Chains A and B, each alone.
Chain A
Amino acid sequence: LTLCYISSCSSWLPQRAPLRGSHWQSSLLEVRTSLPVRAQPKKKKKVDVKKEQAQKERMKKRLRKLEKAAPELIPIEDFITPLKYSESNRVRNLPPLSPEETERRVLLLKKWCLFKQKQDEAEKKAIKALVESQQEALKELRLESEELYQAALQRDEGLFPFERDGPSYTPPLPGYDPPEGKCIDITKVYTQ
């Protein structure tokens, strides 16, 4: 749409009729007073957009609040005793311990204390001897060659992680065919 076109006629001279700006103008002298119609839909969109944005922000705030709130603790199955084990018929009825028995137990635990102490001291002594032996070896190596000494001090990257199967009570039976079975895992998995 074009703006109005006013022919500037300083004097009324008989002329050909001045050109109209557009065929929407009914009269030549009409000036477009209103703004182009485009403005109205523009206003609507702006307001809508703003409202939509405000709504989205409110949703996001609510989500953030939910996330910030401390997550529900996952219950530890082992710490919850099922109710069926608190029935009275479950309690074992045993005769009370005789004084000789309690005496024996106390003395045995004291012996055990001493045994463990000696075991621990022996372990520490062995480790100390190991370290001393290594220090002596490294000292002698340094006297020989600085290069070999530095090579010996390098960390062995391939050593860790170190994995090994521990000893069992009996050695493996050659040619043993273990019975077939299927293990169905029923542990409950909790998600946050």
Chain B
Amino acid sequence: GAAAPRPWRLFGAMCLLRLPRITQAMEKEEEEVAALMEQIEVEKSQYSDHEIRKMEEEEQLKKMKESLYDEEEVRGKTVIMAQDLEEKWEQKFLRFKAAPRITDADKSNDRTSLNRKLDSNLMLLVRQKIGNQELWLLPQVEWQPGETLRSTAERAMASFLGDHIQAKVLGNAPYGIYKYKFPKAIRTENNVGAKVFFFKAFLQSSDLSQAELKTDYLWVTKKELGDYLKSEYLKKVNHFLLD
């Protein structure tokens, strides 16, 4: 039979998250307690083989300095002292340069880069036309009969990032909803407003060079969402976002 007229239009939106790549910085209390725990561990421990060797060699050195005849005995052997070993290891460690935690994208505040804010979640915002306004939103498309809302959200993600995007959608149920009524000018009995259902997914491929982004896009943290999203929409989105 004929489909019943729906007063509310349904949309599926995808909140795509790039998960953190580095650990967050420790808070002051965490650092203090970590230092305390290390201290207690050292106090409760016993000497290791390396430390005993170091202590014995120090004593030998002292004896050698005080008495002269021991030196002649030892000169024959080539002795690697524990202290020398430690210095060697320290040098090797200093020669290694790790990748920086604050990247170039951080310094230039390039918000289109995925290489920014490596210690937080980044989510995708795209520029979309709703009615006659251009807004920053989580990617959304209208639901079509015959598909589940999760498929709608996946289609939204694919339409902006291409089919080859690898993302793990977290379940079949929506995480949040944003309901709004159309402006009175276009509102009718059968076209009251729209319900946007949000789904969450974790980005799995770190390389998006294959993706052909068709519109303007941004990757932003939860705190930066306020710069782009309207207040009511932002409130609903913040409900299902963990820091």
Interface residues of A (CB under 8 A from B): 85, 89-92, 94, 105, 108-109, 111-112, 115, 126, 129-130, 132-134, 136-138, 140-141, 144, 148, 151-156, 159, 162, 164, 167-174
Contact = CB atoms under 8 A, between A and B. Distances in A.
22 contacts: A89-B47, A90-B46, A108-B32, A111-B29, A115-B30, A129-B239, A129-B240, A130-B239, A130-B240, A132-B239, A133-B239, A134-B175, A140-B197, A141-B174, A141-B197, A156-B172, A159-B168, A162-B168, A167-B22, A167-B119, A169-B23, A170-B98
Interface in B213-243: 236, 239-240, 242-243
Interface residues of B, number: 50
Contacts of A138: 173-174
A156 to B, nearest CB: 5
A112 B198 contact: no
B10 interface: yes
Interface stretch (B61-69, B77-85, B99-107, B125-133): B99-107
B171 interface: yes
B10 A144 contact: yes
Interface of B: 6, 8, 10, 19-23, 27, 29-30, 32-33, 36, 42-43, 45-47, 52, 98-101, 103, 118-119, 148-150, 168-177, 179, 195, 197-198, 202, 236, 239-240, 242-243
A105 B198 CA distance: 47
A152 B21 contact: no
Chain A interface mostly: helix
B173 A152 contact: yes
Given A141-B149, A152-B149, A126 B243 contact: yes
